[in-house]
Amino acid sequence: MNVLITRKIPSIGIKKVEKRYDVEINQRARNLRKDELIEKVKEKDGLLCLLTDTIDQEVIDAGEDLKVISNFAVGYDNIDVDAATRAGIAVTNTPGVLTEATAEITFALILAVARNIVEGDRFVREDRFDGWDPTLMLGHELHGKTLGIIGMGNIGCKVAEISQGFDMNVLYFDKIPKKELEEKIGAKSVNLDTLLSESDFVSLHVPLIPETEKMIGKEELEKMKDNAYLINAARGEVVDEKALVKILKEEKIAGAGIDVYANEPHGANPDYYELDNVVLAPHLGSATHRARGGMSMKAAENLIDVLEGKEPEHMVNPEVLASR
Ligand code: GLV
């Protein structure tokens, strides 16, 4: 069988796939263009792709022999899952292995923005530090503060657990109540308005789906406290970036830590660059050796399982296998 891997991923997964199938890998340090993807997916049985590849109806139509689209990511908003399902193609993803890495970067962003780490780094490098100053770059502690988690899936739950090391109170907004977590750490399920108006840190951990697109807009941002921070390590489109830039410019919230952008895969949002109260990261949520190795392995296993006629561990559209 023939498999297309759209970018060089950690070799552990590639080796696993290469042992079984003929593999074509895009060796360039850039994403395949749409026309290249359409050309290369022809006569392939399996596609292992990244969140930066848009797998739409046209790509799916071109992949007439495709049986599986294995996404090297937990989020799969880059794939037209309905079109894949109609074409009888299994779609898989890689949850679990990146939970800790993504939860940890949430705290990296929280600490960086609330304690002025990036601003401080610039200050030192510019040789402006000339001794301890009692009022220099005062920030906010996490200790005893309220953390509002929007989306209490695997990553949200891990963020809630880590927050206990900082003695934070946890509010959360999710369709599915997490009773166990409520009992374990006293997390409280609340509506979105309460979460926004009572939290000192609001952190987003929802997938990008139609209901979550721009779920944090002007109105929601205006409900936040003026000394609160917004953290987004989910997807850029979950926030109305224009509204966020405006509210940050007007200093109506204290700041933001941002790892994801609506403009991806074509870079970040330049409107953020001028703002001092924002810490920006280049979509590093799962960027650890362990997480990316695990994602590579999982993506390979999911792909192989489908091609071998087995049910993969992480299937986005299980109805496809049920109807085979
Ligand atoms: C990263 O953003 C992922 O969805 O895995």
Ligand 1 atom, smallest distance to 75 CA: 4
* pLDDT mean over 125-130: 98
Distance CA 146, CA 168 (A): 6
Q: Where are the domains of the chain?
A: 2-97+289-322, 99-280
pLDDT band at 324 (very low <50, low <70, confident <90, very high): confident
Q: What letter does residue 164 receive in the DSSP assignment?
A: G
Residue-wise pLDDT for 194-238, tens only, equals: 999 999 999 999 999 999 999 999 999 999 999 999 999 999 999
Q: Which CATH number fits domain 2-97+289-322: 3.40.50.720, 3.40.50.300, 3.40.50.2020, 3.30.413.10?
A: 3.40.50.720
CATH architecture for the domain at 99-280: 3-Layer(aba) Sandwich (3.40)
Same fold, 2-97+289-322 and 99-280: yes
pLDDT of residue 129: 98
Query: Which sequence positions are flagged as catalytic?
Result: 235, 264, 283
pTM of the model: 0.96
Closest CA to 41 of 97, 87, 75, 105: 87
Residue-wise pLDDT for 246-292, tens only, equals: 999 999 999 999 999 999 999 999 999 999 999 999 999 999 999 99
Distance CA 301, CA 90 (A): 13
Residue-wise pLDDT for 12-68, tens only, equals: 999 999 999 999 999 999 999 999 999 999 999 999 999 999 999 999 999 999 999
Ligand 1 atom, smallest distance to 93 CA: 5
Q: Check whether 323 has a pLDDT greater than 90.
A: no
Edge-to-edge strand list for the sheet holding 90-92:
22-25, 2-5, 46-49, 68-71, 90-92
286 in contact with ligand 1, CB cutoff 6 A: yes
Measured in Å, residue 265 CA sits from the centre of ligand 1 at 12
